[in-house]
Amino acid sequence: MPTTLTGRRLCTSQGAIDHPVIVIDQDGLIASIHSDPANSSEDVLTSTFFDIHTHGAANYDLMNVSPAELGVINRFLATKGVGHYLATTVTAPIDQTLRSLDALANAVESRSAANEARPIGIHLEGPFISHARKGVHPPADILPPDIALFDRFYEAARGQIRIITIAPEIPGALALIEHAASLGVKVSIGHTDATSEEAQAAIAAGARSATHTFNAMRPLDHRAPGVIATVLDDDRLFAELICDGIHVAPEVVRLWFKAKGPEKAILITDSMSATGMPDGTYTLGTFQVQVKDGRAMANGSLAGSVLTMDRAVANLQRFTGLPLDTAVRLASHNPAALLGLEEVIGNTDAGKTANFNVFDASGQLQGTILNGVRI
């Protein structure tokens, strides 16, 4: 039997509809959308979120996850409004990375359950990063850019790598950026000590994004502006940000949005296995992370986050005063636009999958509808 979803407003990248009435067929697809002023619902409906940078959640790490454990992650993410995500790696020994990429490719190619967020690709973060800005990535496993090794990763992932984070100042990086871009992989500048000139060279070679902007980057200087100035200034780059109030101060969040605007700013979580769990010791890749009071730390550095995407969207509104529809855009349409996946994420045409987030009148996430089923 068809079901009906109503709201005070539907906000998607395709526009807004007041008093929407969404008819969902028995296959979980959108049958029709129309406006009916007699509809009295106060809910605000939006696209579901697309997190392009997450390492895990619910006590499980995506690099070391069984199919059953992956389902736990997927169901947890769905409860936080995530419809799709990129499974993100962290620097590890080559053999382990190859095994993880193969397993993650299996996950991407498998059909997720109706009540689960769906992995639709892989974000390869490391090993081609800067020792100077490595963060918690194990230094012994950081490697110079190598096209042949990247091709081994790409083959193990069966072409499912959609983003790679690279430090562009390292010898060989520009050639790898050109090569990855030629395969359709989006290159993101990150874990980098690059100057502004080196960042510009990366953009010329094909880089189109920045990984967790401000974090693990050469600091901004008004005379030697460095990579951050290029990320904020160049309209060709999208820019990720971890909006938890820990990785980036609210004042800088506002600066980031003013620079990148509603088209090129992207919210991510950079979440790790401790997300959704109590304080304690957890795993990120091959190493342990201590979590206390919302901070994930390893060897004195922040090690990912315990942020969820619904909180990132709420924080952005609180820090900036932006409306819900703009905040959601940064967590759904913009990452999809980076990857050319607008037809998959947040498309409300008839015949598309019925994926929606439901917010109350105060802007709090109340539920998620995936494949026409409310979570």
Domains identified in the chain, total number: 2
Q: Which long-range contacts (CB under 8 A, 24 or more apart) does 295-300 make?
A: 295/246, 296/272, 298/136, 299/136
Pair (120, 66) in one structural domain: yes
The annotation status of 247 as a binding-site residue, yes or no, is yes
Query: What is the per-residue pLDDT across 279-336, written as a single tens digit (0 to 9) for each?
Result: 999 999 999 999 999 999 998 999 999 999 999 999 999 999 999 999 999 999 999 9
The annotation status of 191 as a binding-site residue, yes or no, is yes
CB atoms within 10 A of CB 75: 17
- Residue 270 catalytic? yes
Domain assignment present for residue 152? The answer is yes
Pair (321, 198) in one structural domain: yes
Pair (22, 155) in one structural domain: no
pLDDT by residue for the chain (375 residues), tens only, comes to 789 999 999 998 878 999 999 999 999 999 999 999 999 899 999 999 999 999 999 999 999 999 999 999 999 999 999 999 999 999 999 999 999 999 999 999 998 899 999 999 999 999 999 999 999 999 999 999 999 999 999 999 999 999 999 999 999 999 999 999 999 999 999 999 999 999 999 999 999 999 999 999 999 999 999 999 999 999 999 999 999 999 999 999 999 999 999 999 999 999 999 999 999 999 999 999 999 999 999 989 999 999 999 999 999 999 999 999 999 999 999 999 999 999 888 888 889 999 999 999 888 999 999 999 998
The annotation status of 216 as a binding-site residue, yes or no, is yes
Domain assignment present for residue 352? The answer is no
57 φ, ψ to 5°?
-175, 170
272 φ, ψ to 5°?
-125, -175
Query: What is the per-residue pLDDT across 342-352, written as a single tens digit (0 to 9) for each?
Result: 988 888 888 99
- Domain CATH number, residue 228: 3.20.20.140
Pair (61, 163) in one structural domain: yes
Terminal-to-terminal C-alpha distance of the chain: 18
Rg (C-alpha) for the chain, rounded Å, is 20
The annotation status of 303 as a binding-site residue, yes or no, is yes
What are the distances in angstroms from CA 168 to CA 59, 174, 183, 201, 237? Answer: 33, 6, 18, 8, 14
Pair (85, 153) in one structural domain: yes
Pair (365, 296) in one structural domain: no
Six-digit token string for 203: 């953009």
Pair (234, 295) in one structural domain: yes
Domain assignment present for residue 351? The answer is no
Pair (330, 301) in one structural domain: yes
Domain assignment present for residue 346? The answer is no
What are the distances in angstroms from CA 93 to CA 61, 158, 211? Answer: 16, 19, 21
- Name the active-site residue from 270, 279, 293, 360: 270
Domain assignment present for residue 138? The answer is yes
DSSP string, 154-213: HHHTTT-EEEEEE-TTSTTHHHHHHHHHHTTPEEEE-SB---HHHHHHHHHHTEEEESST
What is the Cα 187 distance to its own chain's centre? 14
Domain assignment present for residue 55? The answer is yes
Six-digit token string for 323: 């409306």
Domain assignment present for residue 344? The answer is no
Sign of the torsion angle spanned by Cα atoms 348, 354, 358, 361: positive
Closest C-alpha among 256, 273, 279 to residue 334: 256
Domain assignment present for residue 21? The answer is yes
Mean pLDDT of the chain: 96
* pTM higher than the cut 0.85: yes
The annotation status of 69 as a binding-site residue, yes or no, is no
| Domain region containing 369 | 3-44+358-374
The annotation status of 123 as a binding-site residue, yes or no, is no
Query: What is the per-residue pLDDT across 104-135, written as a single tens digit (0 to 9) for each?
Result: 999 999 988 999 999 999 999 999 999 999 99
Pair (25, 145) in one structural domain: no
Pair (35, 54) in one structural domain: no
Pair (14, 73) in one structural domain: no
Pair (115, 163) in one structural domain: yes
Q: 238-262 burial by CB neighbour count: b if 16+ within 10 A, else e?
A: bbbbbbbeebbeeebbeebbebbee
